[in-house]
Amino acid sequence: MSGHSKWETTRRQKSLNDSKKAKSFTSVLKKIVAAAKQGGGNIDSNFLLRTAVDNARALNVPSSNIESAIKKGLGINVDGKVFEEIFYEVLAPYGVPILVQCFSDNRNRLISELRLVVERNGGRILDNGSISWQFDLQYKFSVGINLNTNNDNNNKWNETKKEKISDIESFELNIMEISGVLDFSIDADCMNVFVSPDGYNDVKEFLDNGNYDVVDVEITYVPKTKVPLSEPEELEVSSFVSKIEEIDDVKDIYVGL
């Protein structure tokens, strides 16, 4: 019995790892689609696309998948299918506004799937323009942070010889001088810099000149105001969002929380 139990544990762990890998693949390919849609298919001139492709290669995503994602973003016929970007505006439980960004080759199928999920879980799909004004389009630059506490200068470099942030306060003061920098947040090992569209080129130039380790760049929609909810209400909205995320054609979801 112990052998069988060990096998079951191993099998479940492998299934979990495969699932996480598949989600990582899907996430990075969706970013490639969006980047190509935004700035074209040339990685030399499209910084968003180059970053997304580099991240995909780091995950060992097959080149054929990357090429298909770029074509998808450009609206080029892929296996007989032509994809388009579609935004839907949704009102979640407790009046929380949500923008749902999709890439689909079949608008009718997508709206049927989305309406079923939304209405079954206490939400409503709204007309275009109903809540999109409640969000600002911004760019999010994620820059690597040096997590080592000693002063060895070698520790602030990664394998690609890009400089990680070692002095967060100094970095913030310097980058805040650039017009268009709006906000910061810190994840486990990255500082996220939120930038208005007008500030994108200047921030990119600052990071390039400093040879900073830009881990990711993406377009995001940030709510102008956030709906105040209790913890149980937030959990309910989170569950609502998770169900929408399961739809294949959904790329990103932006929530007014």
* Domain ranges for the chain: 2-74, 84-257
Q: Facing residues of 152 across strands?
A: none
Confidence of residue 234 (pLDDT cuts 50, 70, 90): very high
Question: Within the chain, how many helices (H) and strands (E) appear?
Answer: 7, 8
- pLDDT for res 178: 92
Confidence of residue 9 (pLDDT cuts 50, 70, 90): very low
Q: Which residue has the higher pLDDT, 85 or 195?
A: 195
Find, among 141, 151, 135, 140, the residue nearest to 97 by Cα. Answer: 135
84-257 has which CATH code? Answer: 3.30.70.980
Residue 148 has pLDDT above 70, yes or no: no
Residue 83 has pLDDT above 70, yes or no: yes
CA distance 225 to 135: 8
Q: Could you say which DSSP state residue 108 is in? A: H
Of 4-8, 178-182, 188-192, 219-223, the least confident: 4-8
Residue 47, SS3 per DSSP: helix
| Entry pTM | 0.72
Average pLDDT of the residues of the chain: 81
223: how many CB neighbours lie within 10 A of its CB?
Answer: 18
Fold category of 2-74 in CATH: Arc Repressor Mutant, subunit A (1.10.10)
